[in-house]
Amino acid sequence: MSIIKKITCHVVSAAIQKPFTSSRGWLYKTRGSCIVEIETQDGIVGWGECYGPSHVARSYIDTQYAPRILGRDAFDVEVIWEDLYNRIKDYGSKGMAIAALSGIDIALWDIIGKTCGKPIHKLIGGAYRDKVDAYATGLYFIDMDRLIEEAVEEAQGYVEEGFTAVKMKIGLGSPKLDIARVEAVRKAIGDDVRLMVDANHCFTVPAAIRIGRELEKLDVEWFEEPISPEDLDGYVEVTRALDMAVAGGENEFTRWGFRDIVCRKAMDIIQPDVCAAGGISECRKIAALATAHGVECVPHAWGSVIGVAATLHFLAALPDQPPSFRPMPPLFEFEQCENPFRDHLAKEPIVQHKGVVAIPVKPGLGIDIDRTVLQKYSV
Ligand code: CA
């Protein structure tokens, strides 16, 4: 038994030097998160993270979830998940209610791992791999007068750091400018570096298909969120029309949300986020659903070292898709924009070497949280 004694939400925020944006047009001036800390009666502490607006996640946890899980056994992680989901689903079967639930689920898995003395991936099926190839997510829009130059410089920087795969943003309001920018990046990094693009759902179906055909000529591996996530029929059209893989799903939640995407093969690759889609427990179910329908699962990740570690354990336990002599294992999204919570929140940061990230092997998430960082940026 590992009785839950206390739940604390740490809302943190840090200003960043170079604000950036994507096709959404939101200017990111800060990085922040809702970090969940759960303590057991035995003094074991588990950490989780919720994707999205931090104060909203905290409110769900403080007012709806925390009172229901105090006194329960952390090992009942899926029982707790079902209970909390069924408590909230009439008001929030998607979105922040599920992101808040995700943070709790991750923290409970951290407790279970620490109690058993095992890394999380050993408790959710085992290690298909002990390291993963990472891709650098970056190439947002920063300096509107140097969009092409800055993208080239940033991409070259990632290759120099050892990355063998890079994902860039598109959706500048001009397909010509988008293509020129992707072309310049492709030329700069050469043919051997894998390249993906992410439109953050800014195109219509015909515009996505047209630009997709141009991207295929530049050997772009996947086209992420070409169109709006609500338009499933549109995803079916774009996915069928293009030879390149179409990806999406970072804004979808739970097995019920992903069911229709995978049943219809509306995307070639689904990208559930463990800090948003329902945590490690739920993402395991989403991944199982995807394999049954021949859809790849390559998780989205965009947060602190807690989300990074949780994603790595999830990835370690994902079967090869498909199994083969020399399988192509799922890539790890290693977002590279300035974020002190990714780089400094763990006493030993998670880093890449030659584009490869080792799966943490210490118990639980396998990271030690530096409380001074939480205090410094607490809001
Ligand atoms: Ca994305």
Distances (CA, A) of 85 to 77, 91, 113: 12, 10, 23
Residue 120 pLDDT: 99
Q: Which of 191, 242, 188 shows the shortest CA–CA distance to 218? A: 191
User: How many other CB atoms are found less than 10 A from the CB of residue 69?
Assistant: 19
Residue 258 pLDDT: 98
- Distance (angstroms) between ligand 1 centre and the Cα of 88 equals 27
Asked if 35 contacts 10 with a C-beta cutoff of 8 angstroms, the reply is yes
Q: What is the mean pLDDT of residues 253-273?
A: 98
- Distance (angstroms) between ligand 1 centre and the Cα of 22 equals 10
Residue 323 pLDDT: 87
> Over 90: is that where the pLDDT of 313 sits?
yes
CA atoms within a 13 Å half-sphere pointing along the CA-CB vector of 304: 36
Q: What is the mean pLDDT of residues 11-30?
A: 95
Residue 301 pLDDT: 97
Q: What is the mean pLDDT of residues 118-128?
A: 98
> Over 90: is that where the pLDDT of 322 sits?
no
What is the SS3 assignment for 189? Answer: helix
To the nearest whole number, what is the mean pLDDT of the chain?
Answer: 97
Question: 10, 121, 201, 300: which one is catalytic?
Answer: 300
Confidence of residue 373 (pLDDT cuts 50, 70, 90): very high
Residues with CB in 5 Å of ion ligand 1: 198
> Over 90: is that where the pLDDT of 244 sits?
yes
Single pTM value for the model: 0.98
- Distance (angstroms) between ligand 1 centre and the Cα of 362 equals 29
Provide the residue count of the chain. 379
Q: State how far the Cα of 334 lies from the Cα of 301, in Å rounded to an integer.
A: 7
Active site residue 353: no
Confidence of residue 85 (pLDDT cuts 50, 70, 90): very high
Residue 321 pLDDT: 84
- Distance (angstroms) between ligand 1 centre and the Cα of 25 equals 14
Give 3-state DSSP helix, strand, coil % of the chain, rounded to 5. Answer: 40, 25, 35
Residue 15 pLDDT: 97
Residue 44 pLDDT: 98
- Distance (angstroms) between ligand 1 centre and the Cα of 101 equals 21
- Distance (angstroms) between ligand 1 centre and the Cα of 161 equals 22
Confidence of residue 105 (pLDDT cuts 50, 70, 90): very high
